[in-house]
Structure 1
Amino acid sequence: MLRLTNQVRPYAWGARTAIPRLLGAEPDGTPQAELWLGAHHGAPSTVHPDGGPVPLPRFIADDPHGVLGPRTVERFGARLPFLLKFLAADAPLSLQVHPDTARARSGFEAEERAGIPVGAPHRNYRDPHHKPELLLALDPFEALCGFREPAAARRDLEGLDGELAGLLRGDLAASDTHEALRSALTRLLRLPAPERGRLLAEFVAEWSACGGRGAHTGIVTDLADRYPGDPGAVAALLLNRVTLRPGQALFLPAGNLHAYLRGTAVEVMASSDNVLRAGLTHKHVDVPELLDVVDFSVLPVPYTGPRRLDGRREFRPEAPEFTLHEIGPGRVAAYLPGEGPSVVLALDGRVELVAEVGHGLTLVRGESVFIPAGSGPVKVEGRGHVVAATVGAL
């Protein structure tokens, strides 16, 4: 087991105190949005073996079969296939979607051939991997997630006399739900530039004057205030509004249009940074690419529940790259599986980790470790709250 130091991503939507509180640091007044625990090149962690600190990607590259295990290398290559994050949102994230594997690979290769630098702001694909993700709420967490029935969105627009509201009602009246949703979202994202500001401002003013409708009452005006002239504020009406209780989780596969609004959570995902944005952002929006990637199906909110095993809660969605384990809070005595590599983060308290092979160590709030493959099951005991990411079923 090797202790980790991890990097914080200071995105503008981040909270100012949650991550410093986790790490036992003084807030510096700047937003701190995500703590990354893994080997993604965007913000890799560092391990601390006896010889001194080593970036985790280099540590893996020096002995991939020993560190990751032969079965992980066979399935995913010589890389850690998952990325664990602690997420602290004080403002909405962009309205976004993630590609599937085929689209990510083809998009990445096309942009490589075109000579677009990986860090270029107009680049869509920063790696050739998909990015399914699971989010576990640590406190009440608000999100927009997946399309609701077009008829429900259309009802919320009834009685609005503005031009844009009328056009959207027409789009949403299509008998085919996929076509109705595609038409409405396409209209919003392709509003003519000379008229966009006027149409959106008129809609938001009328929406506010009538007091809003249903679960989306305050969302449209709040998003419009934060992002004036951004069609994502109105597009929120097409999506389910979700409030997760602590311990509830969502699984977001490729194509699910979503936006996180506020709260703290743990995320685990395939190790990728591929994001296609639809709005609520000042970053690049590629409308044709996004519309090709979005899944316009009407589906239930993608809650995912855990299995209870050996004193832990195991979230194993349909993503081979990862499984998320939660132990605690409170008095704990549990085992983490030891088939492949894992990353463990202590959210609270103090726990002892004892591997079947190798030494043990103590984790307190904010501390984390990387456990190479071959360590065997790891016993976790003490009083605290711990999450761990492992490779999906091997």
Structure 2
Amino acid sequence: MLVSLTNTPRDYAWGSTDLIARLEGREPTGRPEAEVWLGDHPGNPAVTGDGRTLDAWLAAEGSATGAPTTLTFLLKLLAAGSPLSIQAHPSKAQAEEGFAREEAAGIPRDAGQRTYRDDNHKPELIVAVSDEFHALAGLRPIDDTRRLLALLGPAAEPLASRLERHGPEAALADTIAWLLSGDAQSEVDALIQAAADAPRGAGFDAELDLVAHVADAYPGDPGVIVAMLMNLVVLAPGEGLYVPAGVLHAYVSGLGVELMAASDNVLRGGLTPKHIDVDELLTVLTPAPGPAPRVFAEPAGEGLWRYDTPAPDFALRRADVRDDAAVQVPVSQATIVLATAGSVTVQTAEEAAELTPGRALMITPEAQGVVLRGSGTVYLATSGTVS
């Protein structure tokens, strides 16, 4: 069975005013459009063709069609017009403990100071759709950060000295705690100005320009300097970034397809007016420095690609359909399909539906497989592992 899915874009302030509209071929509304949720998460479930929310549809129809009554994943179309908050997500055990603690404390789940809104972890994968997708992910190796700080002159000395005090992980955790404590505001302001004044051409131009860009959006925010400690990543279309529990990250600009475990647990570390619990962030943070966790698509059949991650909750494939040649896609689990380019027809043995950019549907397991025809690109999200 093919079940059409729609949803209204969420109007978070960091959303783009035109990226989703341009993808869908419609006039922009003039308001930020940040995320389109295509799943059954109770925070914003998708709507099926018969007007039911997807969570209600699965509860009523899932068993009869071979689909689960709830999904383990959430697929999103994400459009960043300005930087998202710097954040990390808890492990499954941390989420269960934190959720139970806040439930026992009687904190309403929709309260601004609430951190754990459910008891699940939230590993996530983002794949670029726009020509470029800019992100911060993971903490840069300290030797590289030292070379960057050397361009900033005396203003960088307090930060540089902290990075020398301990081993790399302890030094980074201590430095992030100091930056977010509220006791380092004068140093933060001086570093932001020094980054704006720093000479270009020494190998860190993009990082320095990013600091200036983020500072324009969040003047004086300590998260601007936390961002200076992170890997800057620029993804081309089809390239991905996998963020497991504990890894600090922030999406900066661009349009992407995001797939994650079905959770809304976020520990923030700057670039936001929302609640920041520094102690709790440091509890879940993995401060190990290293390269950004990029993911590249691997062949999975004619016209079909997969993005391998260790996440047990989801799997993502991409189908590139060309010149009406058939692309065969096996389906053994409930699968959500989202089109990002061209026009692709999804066909089972009994029915067919055309998808154009921004449109989505769910394939139920009883279909066993579909044939894709047309010319375009679709992403297919499911739970577990697919070959």
Match of 2:192 in 1: 204
SS for the counterpart of 1:158 is helix
> Are 1:273 and 2:261 matched, yes or no?
no
- 1:231-250 maps to which residues of 2 (within 5 A)? 231-250=222-241
Shift of 1:67: 4.4
SS for the counterpart of 2:55 is helix
Distance in structure 2 (CA, Å) of the matches to 1:274 and 1:313: 29
SS for the counterpart of 1:217 is helix
What is the CA deviation profile of residues 226-254 of structure 1, one whole-angstrom value per residue up to 9, with x for unaligned ones? 11221110111211111111111111100
Q: Which of 319, 327, 333 in structure 1 is aligned with 2:326?
A: 333
> Are 1:301 and 2:292 matched, yes or no?
yes
Match of 1:343 in 2: 336
Match of 1:354 in 2: 347
Shift of 1:88: 1.1
Shift of 1:260: 0.8
> Are 1:264 and 2:264 matched, yes or no?
no
Contact 1:150 1:180 in 2 (8 A): no
Match of 2:384 in 1: 392
Match of 2:100 in 1: 109
The more displaced of 56-65 and 280-289 is: 56-65
Match of 1:58 in 2: 56
Shift of 1:329: 5.7
Q: Which of 146, 152, 156 in structure 2 is aligned with 1:154?
A: 146
The more displaced of 346-355 and 247-256 is: 346-355
> Are 1:133 and 2:121 matched, yes or no?
no
TM-align CA RMSD: 1.8
> Are 1:181 and 2:172 matched, yes or no?
yes
Letter of the structure 2 residue corresponding to residue 220 of structure 1: V
Shift of 1:162: 4.5
Contact 1:7 1:44 in 2 (8 A): no
Q: Which of 286, 293, 301 in structure 1 is aligned with 2:277?
A: 286
Letter of the structure 1 residue corresponding to residue 343 of structure 2: R
Shift of 1:110: 1.1
Shift of 1:143: 0.9
Match of 1:316 in 2: 308
Distance 1:111 1:328, change over 3 A: same
TM-score (norm 2): 0.93
Shift of 1:353: 1.3
Distance in structure 1 (CA, Å) of the matches to 2:187 and 2:292: 30
Letter of the structure 2 residue corresponding to residue 353 of structure 1: V
Distance in structure 1 (CA, Å) of the matches to 2:63 and 2:308: 24
TM-score (norm 1): 0.91
Distance in structure 2 (CA, Å) of the matches to 1:255 and 1:3: 35
Shift of 1:316: 2.7
The more displaced of 142-151 and 170-179 is: 170-179
Contact 2:38 2:46 in 1 (8 A): yes
Contact 2:128 2:257 in 1 (8 A): yes
SS for the counterpart of 2:110 is coil
Distance in structure 2 (CA, Å) of the matches to 1:130 and 1:374: 29
Distance 1:362 1:289, change over 3 A: same
SS for the counterpart of 1:99 is coil
Distance in structure 1 (CA, Å) of the matches to 2:212 and 2:353: 50
What is the CA deviation profile of residues 241-270 of structure 1, one whole-angstrom value per residue up to 9, with x for unaligned ones? 111111111111001101111111111111
Q: Which of 360, 364, 367 in structure 2 is aligned with 1:375?
A: 367
Letter of the structure 2 residue corresponding to residue 62 of structure 1: A
Shift of 1:159: 6.2
Distance in structure 1 (CA, Å) of the matches to 2:246 and 2:223: 16
Distance 1:158 1:347, change over 3 A: closer
Letter of the structure 2 residue corresponding to residue 342 of structure 1: T
SS for the counterpart of 1:186 is helix
